[in-house]
Amino acid sequence: MAISNALLLLAQAAVYFIVMMSLLRARQVIGIGVFMCALGVMHFLETYLASVFYIELPFGIVSPGSTVLFSGKLLMILLLYIREDALIVRQPIYGLLIGNFLIVALVMILRNHDTISVTDGRNPDFAFIDEMGLLMVWGTILLFVDAIAIIVLYERIGNWVGRHLGLRFLICGAAVLTFDQAGFFLALHYVSGAPWHVFVGGWAAKMVATLVYTALFILYLKYFDNESSWLTNRSFKDVFQVLTYRERYHKLLEASIRDHLTGTLHRSQYDQNAPKILAKNLQENRPLSLLVIDIDHFKQVNDRHGHQAGDEILKMVARLLADNLRSDDHLYRVGGEEFVLLCEKLSVEGATSMAERLRKAIERFSKIYLPEKVTVSIGLASAPQDGDTMEALFRQADLRLYEAKKQGRNRVFSPVTVD
């Protein structure tokens, strides 16, 4: 009996692998959604089998739900990641998490119905449903953790294992399924009192399942695909951030502090951070310079060529300024055509030289690439000689900007100029 059970499990694993790999291989034709639906539709069956359906094998008592279906699902998630990327694979990971919690929530509402019996002896077993609900919740959380862990581990061990794709697959599957078996058995033992030998048999079965799926994967690569096309070189840190949607957070955070048109830091960031930067430099007895940069005759550009042309000029000036920044410089757009450049550890002489370089770069670029010349005027102030607050520095730099425009524009006006 144990031998026949083992052969039936091997047959189930083979059928599962062949169907799922066929869907994965055909995803460009039929769509990745078919693979994802097939992946997720069996989760309830997996949990049901893991709670009530057990068979005997030569090395112990196991559940086909955990051995074949759950192990296969987790390894298929890894294969989907290897074949696509973290952006694609996180869809079924989060879909399974949300879908399974939705099932539990709906069952909690359903159990409050006043039911009637339409067939003798067939009534809903709410005690069993409650048990299944607990296992579904815990199994779903474990699957979520397992899916992220197996992908991050796969990338982490890439430098150690190298190009041995099958070995990476085997190590990741064995490690994460060991963790999963321990976690799920604790819940199963708590809910249904499953004996400890079930843990041992289940763990052994999952290790065998990992070997079987790895062997099937290697055979697939040998006869139906090219192993080199499956090899990836992704940063495990970046992969983790994508899987956990942290890159969305960083993008939203970046968008909230950047001007949407020019990509420079937003005025709000100047108001929030510039005083702190100034205070730090004054405390450390280091110079700090502030440049107020204004595009000359910008209103006339908008009037003659339209606001779209004006936007392009703004982006061009911002790009040229950004391309010439040091690591200690901070560029902000503080008004329509006005930028502020805050330069740490830069004396007034160095800042004046930098301002001249920026002015010339913008003028030279516009002569070559724009239909008409674009110039900027720059007013400069430096701490501590021009003040020890941002208000004082900005006021002094703004006065010097006005003087630069008064003297004909396309020039830098600084304390060095005044002296």
Question: pLDDT tens digits, residue range 294-341?
Answer: 999 998 888 888 888 888 899 999 999 999 998 899 999 998 899 999
**Cα–Cα distance between 162 and 368 in angstroms, integer?**
50
Q: What integer pLDDT is reported at residue 76 of this predicted model?
A: 92
Same domain, 225 and 81: yes
Same domain, 181 and 86: yes
> Is 119 within a domain?
no
Same domain, 11 and 50: yes
> Is 37 within a domain?
yes
Boundary-marking domain end, from 250, 273, 295: 250
Nearest to 349, CA basis, from 316, 324, 373, 385: 385
Residues 103-129 have pLDDT tens digits of 878 878 887 888 787 777 677 777 777
**Cα–Cα distance between 175 and 74 in angstroms, integer?**
12
Six-digit token string for 35: 């693979």
Same domain, 320 and 238: no
**Mean of pLDDT values over 28-56:** 82
The sign of the torsion formed by the CA atoms of 329, 333, 334, 338 equals positive
- H-type alpha helices, 26-117: 27-30, 32-40, 43-52, 64, 71-83, 86-110
- What residue numbers bound the domain in which 399 lies? 258-418
> Is 144 within a domain?
yes
**Mean of pLDDT values over 80-84:** 85
> Which residues have C-beta within 8 Å of that of residue 321, sequence separation ≥ 6?
264, 293, 331, 339, 341, 358, 362
pLDDT category of residue 16 using cuts at 50, 70 and 90:
very high
Same domain, 30 and 79: yes
**Cα–Cα distance between 344 and 282 in angstroms, integer?**
10
Same domain, 165 and 34: yes
Boundary-marking domain end, from 185, 216, 250: 250
| CATH number of the domain enclosing 379 | 3.30.70.270
pLDDT category of residue 1 using cuts at 50, 70 and 90:
confident
> Is 83 within a domain?
yes
Same domain, 288 and 232: no
Q: What integer pLDDT is reported at residue 2 of this predicted model?
A: 78
Same domain, 300 and 176: no
Boundary-marking domain end, from 221, 250, 279: 250
Helix, strand counts (H, E) of the chain: 19, 7
Q: What integer pLDDT is reported at residue 18 of this predicted model?
A: 94
0.85 exceeded by pTM: no
> Is 120 within a domain?
no
Same domain, 228 and 332: no
Same domain, 225 and 173: yes
Domain count for the chain, please give it: 2
> Is 148 within a domain?
yes
Nearest to 417, CA basis, from 392, 399, 395: 399
Q: How high is the mean pLDDT of the chain?
A: 85
Check: CB of residue 54 under 8 Å from CB of residue 185: no
> Is 117 within a domain?
no
Within 10 angstroms of residue 93's Cβ, the number of other Cβ atoms is 21
Same domain, 268 and 407: yes
Does the pLDDT of residue 419 top 50, yes or no?
Answer: no
> Is 67 within a domain?
yes
Residues 403-412 have pLDDT tens digits of 999 999 999 9
Same domain, 299 and 243: no
Q: What integer pLDDT is reported at residue 280 of this predicted model?
A: 93
**Mean of pLDDT values over 261-279:** 91
